Amino acid sequence: MEKDHPGWKHLNASLRDKVEILAKNPYRFYIYPNVWTFRGPSRLEILSQFMAEAEAAEDFELCARILEVEKALACQIFAS
């Protein structure tokens, strides 16, 4: 994947940056080269995986941020 590809930032971001990208709720979120998820419940599953990684790393500040993002996205998903 070229560095100017839209998914480059998603794929090569730190865990904290990926959470912040999801917080902005972009139309596409890249999980692999040329593989993305659209807005919807699948993003909550991704955040759940990120939560497991943050807990394993004992980054409880990031865990709290992930919970905030999950709550915000869940409200948007279920309101529509």
pLDDT of residue 7: 87
Mean pLDDT of the chain: 93
Q: How confident is the model at residue 4 (pLDDT cuts 50, 70, 90)?
A: confident
pLDDT of residue 74: 96
DSSP 17-79: HHHHHHHT--SEEEEETTEEEESSTHHHHHHHHHHHHHHHTT-HHHHHHHHHHHHHHHHHHHH
> pLDDT at residue 73 above 70?
yes
> pLDDT at residue 1 above 70?
no
Q: What is the mean pLDDT of residues 4-22?
A: 92
> pLDDT at residue 5 above 80?
no
pTM of the model: 0.91
